[in-house]
Structure 1
Amino acid sequence: MKHLSLALVFALSTVQAQNPAPAAKPKAPDAVDKLAAVHKPTRVVTYKKVGEQELQMHVFEPEGLKAGDSRACFLIIHGGGWTGGAPPRMYSFAAHYAKLGMVGISMQYRLHSKKTGVTVFDCVKDARSAVRYIRSHATELGIDPQKLIVSGGSAGGHLAAATALFDNVNEDGDDLKVPATPNALVLLFPVIDTSKEGYGNEKIGERWEELSPLHHVHPGVPPTIIFHGTGDTVTPYAGAKAFQEAMVKAGNRCELDTNEGGAHGYLMRSKALHDDTLQKTDVFLKSLGLLP
């Protein structure tokens, strides 16, 4: 009986080897992936080194830029649940603002992983370090340090908000005299509430409230615009609405552009919605004097 069982196991494993499970189909490129494929940064700059890892900024320079210029800067941060993604995902946003005369930057950050020990706190530290790098190197980058917009999608939206809200989370060695708070925020379907009602509670752990934008609203937060869909079940729309209401109550400017029924990442999958988001962002930035 034992020999029969072994023979059966061997036979089954042979069949499986001869007929392996079909490989998962790669995700079809969406609108933003297709746009990213046609854009290339002007240069890549290392803004921080952690151990052996160099963290980079993919810089899109406007035509005619020279050192010493005072251009506004649009820094964009990719999403991916803090665990995945890369700067090319947000190239279309950086390239758009470079075309309008700004310096556009899509940044890299460490990715959260239990295996490597990188936490969401480390992701936040990288975003805040990036803002400080831009301000510290404003002259050579041709940037006005007082015209810095930080944007991001999903977890990247969380990191964008973190630059303005989490003053107690900083990298050892950062010059804390250089402010990490930007002059405006553009948040795309962001992780805005890290409680159990929102997103990221298990990834952050017991200290989730320290990294929950909704729980850190205070007077003096930079002007903010949020794009969010009511059908978002990943980063629930209720969190974005609560954040906007808390911002207004604190005396801050905060606009919420609502897409009825929009699922998580809705504006990344449709070129029409992507372009509409950029157009509305342009209007918002012009109202602040950040876009010529």
Structure 2
Amino acid sequence: MFRVYALFVLSLLCIPAFGQRKDYPPRFDGAREETYKTIGDVEMKVWIFDPPEHQASDSRPAIVFFFGGGWKAGNPAQFEQHCRYLASQGMVAMTADYRVRSRHETLADKALEDAESAIRWVRQNAKRLGVDPDRVAAGGGSAGGHLAACLGVVAPLSESDSGAISSIPDAMVLFNPALVLAPLENISLGTNDDGTDKFDDIATRTGVPAKRISPIHHIHPGLPPTVIFHGEADTTVPFVTAQRYRELATQAGNRCELKSYRDATHGFFNYGRGGEPGEYYPVTVSQMHTFLQSIGYLKGPPAIALPQSKNVHFRSHFDHSRHAFVNQQKGTVAFLGGSITEMDGYRVMVQADLQARFPETQFTFINAGVSSTCSTTGAFRLSEDVLASKPDLLFVEFAVNDDQDASHAERECIRGMEGILRHARTALPKLDMVVTHFVNPPMRQKLQNGVTPISSGAHERVASHYGVSSIDLAREVAEQISAGKLTWQQYGGTHPHEPGNRIAADMIADLLDTAWSDSIPDQPRSESHRSAKQMDKNSYARGKMLPPSAANLGKGWVLHRPDWASLPGSTRQRFSELDLLCGKDVGAEWTLDFAGTGIGLYVLAGPDAGTVEYSIDGGEMRQQDLFHRFSKGLHYPRTVILDAGLPRGKHQIRIRVAKAKHPSSAGHAVRILSIAVNQ
């Protein structure tokens, strides 16, 4: 079912986002610019976003936002999207400038004096602005959150130039605010990179004794109702400061809500970059709406859709695929992964869901799942198996295989998943993608013990870094089992049964409900998804499989179809009709000239799998054992990376069958499906 409420944030995708805005002072389409204060020849501006059909005769609630930047820098554009959202819901929303050190050679005290002036100006001009002077909220982030908090908690630094007009807001909306500026029992801000104590550093930036404008030191009864949004992983403004503030404020009889986010760092709430909302923007705006609704500033529920499950992470729009499915009535959807993808499980359910959503659409579904393969193989298969078909929507899963099949360390999990996502982003910038983390018993047990598995944790980091939406099915299943809502037997095991696959498909449906909950545009509103800096310079982001025929064969090597019936161990049907590059004579060699930064072998490693010796560019000989613990009864598909850190350019590799072999191997056989090159 599609949600009733529109995902308002997506309707703003055409508007430049904070993070791209370098213009100062900023300009906002549809906003009014006014001067709220003049100091010498410097005019302090406020930009006003009015609700639709707003009249001066109205008496609307208002909010003034103050940007972050350590009282040193920053831009009022930071809260443009928050203002646009709240204006759309009926509030008069404003983002204000104030003096900062980089532009005005001032310290925090002058910034606070300006914030006081801004609130007084709103009240003084309330009738002209169509604002209710008794419903004026203050909001802000980081240093701007500090200013907003000071307005409500700390005695004003300046006096009103207009009689008894108060600078105290009627409510506070604070995003990772700096609430502790001076030493407090059991609170530490840590040290800066140069080893200096952060309290000492803050004291040089305040202009008055730091304690004078430290909100936590001035808590008292009768404070304005407050909501605080804070990331638990924030190292700039430690989460403990918000926890302690909330504790002391509530003990004093005040309403103070704290919304926390487990993996969120400083600035997590911002709208985002590249025309896409940040991961936490929708949820924090929705919760801000709920708070303001509770105090009578807004009516009705949030006009922004959120996934029902907290383990569904909506990070980017899905405009491209929906445009193809609706406007063109054609669409290509690919599924890349291991056996969980290859089997008729969640993939078939998602396909059926898409066809039901878009009954007039002619779909092409690509099953690019290959049992037992990990994200490394996926990164090198991606170009031929997926990107060549130019899909509109791609689903990826490799967490289980990276864990139990490949036993990858975090580095390899990142290199493989980044190879997939970065390569896809580069080749098809408009491609919509979803990463799903499935689960096996060891991963489930770790999650139930409060430990994030290496594979799903690394894949989630990569997905978040590239703004790719994800489904943390592993965590969802572990939480449901711990809560007594599900058993592992009901889920169905590593290869889930129908109920387990249904959970995965329903979570994906939850994500798509959120992404497609607004009205259908005539054209995609964002030409492409945002890119990001490469996390690991050696990730397989230029992966490609070369055919074994590219090798220059020496004596003892043959390109043919093995007589699988005569060989020990089973072979999967998908490989049984392929020609492989095969060698089993010790010392048999081949060479390959290639261009790239990495090279590996995609092999079938069976009961007789041997070891290869290899030399790159005439360097020393190294060895790679091809035998795998699953090779004893199966010609097991795996990709072994021989070197991932070569200098970019042309190289030559020399491969030969080694005399050494695994103790459990019955021979020296090397059977190569493809040669993996990171170009």
Tell whether the structures are fold-level matches, with TM greater than 0.5. Answer: yes
Aligned counterparts of 1:205 and 1:44: Cα–Cα separation in 2: 29
SS for the counterpart of 2:205 is: helix
Could you say which residue in structure 2 is the equivalent of 1:63? 52
Could you say which residue in structure 1 is the equivalent of 2:227? 225
Could you say which residue in structure 2 is the equivalent of 1:276? 283
Aligned counterparts of 1:50 and 1:35: Cα–Cα separation in 2: 26
Q: Deviation string for 1:167-204 (max 9, x for gaps)?
A: 24115x53351111111101000111112534633312
Match for 1:238 among 220, 237, 240?
Answer: 240
SS for the counterpart of 2:269 is: helix
What amino acid is aligned across from residue 86 of structure 2 in structure 1? Y
Q: 1:116 to 1:287 in 2, by over 3 A?
A: closer
What amino acid is aligned across from residue 293 of structure 2 in structure 1? K
Aligned counterparts of 1:170 and 1:176: Cα–Cα separation in 2: 12
Aligned counterparts of 1:285 and 1:168: Cα–Cα separation in 2: 25
Contact 1:43 1:59 in 2 (8 A): yes
The Cα shift of 1:41 comes to 4.3
Contact 1:39 1:95 in 2 (8 A): no
Q: 1:206 to 1:58 in 2, by over 3 A?
A: closer
Aligned counterparts of 1:95 and 1:61: Cα–Cα separation in 2: 9
Aligned counterparts of 2:32 and 2:149: Cα–Cα separation in 1: 26
Aligned counterparts of 2:39 and 2:87: Cα–Cα separation in 1: 29
For 1:102-121, list aligned pairs within 5 A. 102-112=91-101, 116-121=104-109
The Cα shift of 1:156 comes to 0.3
Aligned counterparts of 1:225 and 1:217: Cα–Cα separation in 2: 15
Q: Deviation string for 1:268-288 (max 9, x for gaps)?
A: 245231011010011111111
Aligned counterparts of 1:130 and 1:176: Cα–Cα separation in 2: 15
Q: 1:41 to 1:155 in 2, by over 3 A?
A: farther
Aligned counterparts of 1:32 and 1:190: Cα–Cα separation in 2: 18
Contact 2:156 2:167 in 1 (8 A): no
Q: 1:151 to 1:41 in 2, by over 3 A?
A: farther
Residue 178 (structure 1) aligned with residue 185 (structure 2): no
Aligned counterparts of 2:261 and 2:27: Cα–Cα separation in 1: 27
Q: Which has the larger radius of gyration?
A: 2
The Cα shift of 1:90 comes to 1.1
The Cα shift of 1:119 comes to 2.0
Residue 98 (structure 1) aligned with residue 87 (structure 2): yes
Could you say which residue in structure 1 is the equivalent of 2:297? 290
The Cα shift of 1:162 comes to 1.4
Aligned counterparts of 2:86 and 2:20: Cα–Cα separation in 1: 18
What amino acid is aligned across from residue 223 of structure 1 in structure 2? P
Aligned counterparts of 1:243 and 1:230: Cα–Cα separation in 2: 14
Match for 1:134 among 95, 107, 122?
Answer: 122
Query: 5+ unaligned residues in a row in structure 1: which ranges?
Result: 1-29
Contact 1:39 1:92 in 2 (8 A): no
Alignment root-mean-square deviation, CA: 2.3
Residue 191 (structure 1) aligned with residue 178 (structure 2): yes
Contact 1:45 1:58 in 2 (8 A): yes
Q: Deviation string for 1:117-153 (max 9, x for gaps)?
A: 5121110010011000000000100100111111000
Contact 1:41 1:58 in 2 (8 A): no
TM-score by length of 1: 0.83
TM-score by length of 2: 0.37
Aligned counterparts of 2:57 and 2:166: Cα–Cα separation in 1: 20
Q: Deviation string for 1:47-75 (max 9, x for gaps)?
A: 00001100000111111111121011021
SS for the counterpart of 2:132 is: strand
- Count residues with an aligned counterpart: 261
The Cα shift of 1:206 comes to 6.6
Q: Which has the higher helix share?
A: 1
